[in-house]
Structure 1
Amino acid sequence: MSEESLVSPSWVTPDPTLSSRGAEPDNATAALFPAAVAPPRPPDWLVNPWDVVLCTSGALIACENGLVVLVIWQNPALRAPMFLLIGSLALADLLAGLGLVLHFFFAYLLRSDPAQLLTVGLVVASFSASIFSLLAITIDRYLSLYYALTYNSERTLTFTYTMLVLLWGVSLCLGLLPVTGVNCLGAESTCSIVRPLTKNNVAVLSVSFLLLFGLMLQLYVQICKIVLHHAHQIALQHHFLAATPHYVTTRKGVSTLALILGTFAACWMPFTVYSLVGDYTYPPLYTYATLVPATYNSIINPLIYAFRNQEIQRALWLVCCGCVPASVAQRARTPSDV
């Protein structure tokens, strides 16, 4: 690798206060450190530990979501709209995990701008598709409750395919922006907290996330109202509101919805807010401290949306050991599975 390379093996822009490796020391530095005792520079092969954390998270994300994609792909019974959307979420997270791993290896082995742009574009597209898939799952759950009698119609399947085409199309366009020239490689002053994304690009992504989060919040509030209304009607027929088992499971369902939304916000909100207020001059530690928790959302997604589903649990048991435990086979679906 030449000494004039400008590529940084990291997600953040190099500290602008540091001189390039090939620059001559200034007079003050020469006076404090004569040539014979010049201050040591970190070796070129030194790996940023935060990048190692991101790479490790990416590997875990890829393995975990790859299992979900494999199970849904191989099981013909899992073709309902709900499973298609869960599969879309798992595929998006799988690609995001692969993007994090590829970025680590390309950044420290190739150290080329084209490779960095491709991997960053893949990560942006994948995480965008993951967030859009979460919104699509929320919409699907709302429609399954609001239009319960007509939900299992051909029209619902068509609507699901339309959502999938739209969310992946928009995500692909967002991921192609850095590759097609919307990046800060030519002007470091336009960089955001994540190199090589520009400040405007990250601002658009952050505002879009806030809008999507607001829409998901509104939909989950409506879902809670519908579930509680149904539970109240059933409980009145039994004349014992608090003692009804259905009421207990309904409260669990509402708690599950709060857990889903709270986890999503806890993982992504710090990075989103920091993306709006920070720029490339801020300490890299802040970027990594908010970016790493955002990747954890892709680790948690299968635990919430896939592995808790009884149909996917049966398919996993069949894949792993060729049998289904009685506790899994006989478990009835409850509102807490919403």
Structure 2
Amino acid sequence: MMEKGPPNSSEGQQGWFSARNGSGSSVGLESVAQPLALSPWDVVLCVSGTIISCENAVVLLAILHTPALRAPAFLLLGSLATADLLAGLGLLLHGALEYLVPWEAASLLTVGLLVASFTASVSSLLSITIDRYLSLCNALTYHSESTVSRTHVMLLLTWGASACCGLLPAAGWNCLGQPSACSAVRPLTRGQLAALAACLLAALAAVLQLYGAATLAVTLGTPAACWLPFALHGLLGGRSSPALHTYATLLPAAYNSLLNPVIYAFRNREIRKVLWAACCGCSAPPCRARSPSDV
């Protein structure tokens, strides 16, 4: 069992992230013998998770409640909102279980949920980008049955791959039995975190290639600016990296789930009509189908 650092140490971050004592050794859940000191970083993550969950729940309810919002583009928006909603819940559950149920099994579940939800979020962004690109290239045939089928296939691939990635830590691909293999995000191994970071960078590169227009710089720049620090930390960081670096790079990545509804949902006229009608207590006017470029 590893030596445990002082409970009130500023580097005494424990649980999901690689905590370190004065000698730089990693502190695992198996070494916790007393209640953990409340970390301000975990408080920020819990508050952020709550806001992210509520914001994306509003978007998801607006889409589900309005029959007119059943076009393929809105299905992809619903997928993005669902993924970001789960990401917010994952952040909230991590903060709660870290102090209430400090078990290794809880760590695997929360990390698995976060890996799956963040993977689904980035994959949904890529699907939305592909859908927009095809709508511009095939404007005359976009509203055909093939578009609906293609959307269903993209949703199936998105959530199937995300579920597989989320189940890997619980299925045994973790570093709980070999602490030296831990990455900066415990209990993920260095190889697992590097693979996730590489896939993230590849997805961002694909989005850049498909957009390639200066007018969409904000749409592209936001996920890139949010995720690049964490992706680079996942590739270059390790078990000996300070926990502060992991928190500092994870927060911008989490805030991408906070900004996605603003960029992809609240800017849409139909969704704004539904939300305004819900706030005013009146019925929403009929919505006409719009192309993904309007979403």
Shift of 1:99: 0.7
Deviation sequence 1:237-293 (CA, Å, 0-9, x none): xxxxxxxxxxxxxxxxx43x1001111111000110111111010111111111111
1:108 to 75, 78, 99: 99
Deviation (angstroms), 1:215: 0.8
* Structure 1 position 137, deviation (Å): 0.3
The alpha carbon displacement at 1:323 in A equals 4.1
Q: Which runs of 5+ in 1 are unaligned?
A: 22-42, 225-253
CA deviation after TM superposition for structure 1 residue 18, in Å = 6.4
Q: Is the 8 Å Cα contact of residues 9 and 111 (structure 1) preserved in structure 2? A: no
Do the aligned partners of residues 73 and 336 (structure 1) sit closer, same or farther apart at CA in structure 2, a change above 3 Å counting? closer
Cα distance, 1:334–1:131 mapped onto 2, change above 3 Å: closer
Which residue of structure 1 aligns with residue 142 of structure 2?
Answer: 151
Q: How does 1:291-302 map to 2 (within 5 A)?
A: 291-302=250-261
Structure-2 residue corresponding to 1:11: 16
User: Which one of 197, 200, 205 corresponds to residue 209 of structure 1?
Assistant: 200
Q: Give the letter aligned to residue 201 of structure 1.
A: Q
Which residue of the partner structure matches residue 243 of structure 1?
Answer: none
Q: Does the CA-based 8 Å contact 1:93-1:127 persist in structure 2?
A: yes
Q: 2:73, 2:292 within 8 Å by CA — same for their partners in 1? A: no
Corresponding residue to 2:222 among 246, 259, 263: 263
Structure 2 residue 99 is matched with structure 1 residue 94:
no
Q: CA deviation at 1:10?
A: 3.2
Equivalents in 2 of 1:209, 1:45: separation in Å? 32
The change in CA–CA distance for 1:306 and 1:56 in structure 2 (over 3 A counts) is same
Distance, in Å, in 1 between the alignment partners of 2:138 and 2:91 is: 39
The residue that corresponds to 1:275 in the other structure is 234
For 1:168-183, list aligned pairs within 5 A. Answer: 168-183=159-174
Q: Which residue of 1 aligns with 2:156?
A: 165
Aligned residue type for 1:15: R
Q: Is contact 2:24–2:240 with CA below 8 Å preserved after alignment? A: no
State the alpha-carbon separation in 2 of the partners of residues 106 and 49 from structure 1: 15
Counterpart in the other structure of 2:181: 190
Match of 2:265 among 306, 320, 324: 306
* Structure 1 position 203, deviation (Å): 0.7
What displacement does 1:55 show? Answer: 1.0
> Pick from 314, 322, 327: which aligns with 2:281?
322
User: TM-score w.r.t. structure 1 length?
Assistant: 0.77
Task: Name the structure 2 match of 1:72.
Answer: 63
Alpha-carbon distance, 1:337 to partner: 4.0
The aligned residue for residue 24 of structure 1 is none
Q: CA deviation at 1:211?
A: 0.9
3-state SS of paired residue (1:281): coil
CA distance in 1, matches of 2:227, 2:166: 18
* Residues 135, 291 of structure 2: 8 Å contact kept: no
Deviations 1:177-208 (A, max 9, x none): 10101111111110111011000000110111
| Contiguous gaps of at least 5 residues in structure 2 | 5-12, 29-33
Alpha-carbon deviations, 1:205-241, whole Å to 9, x = none?
01111111111100001xx3xxxxxxxxxxxxxxxxx
Distance in 2 (CA, whole Å) between partners of 1:123 and 1:181 is 17
Separation of aligned partners in 2, 1:14 and 1:167? 32
**2:244 equivalent to 1:285:** yes
Task: Name the CA distance, whole Å, in 1 between partners of 2:44 and 2:107.
Answer: 18
The amino acid that maps onto 2:97 is F
2:7 equivalent in structure 1: none
Task: Tell me the amino acid that sits aligned with residue 269 of structure 2.
Answer: Q
Q: Secondary structure at the match of 2:20?
A: coil
Provide the residue aligned with 1:228 in structure 2. Answer: none
Rounded to whole Å, the distance in 2 between the matches of 1:122 and 1:291 is 15
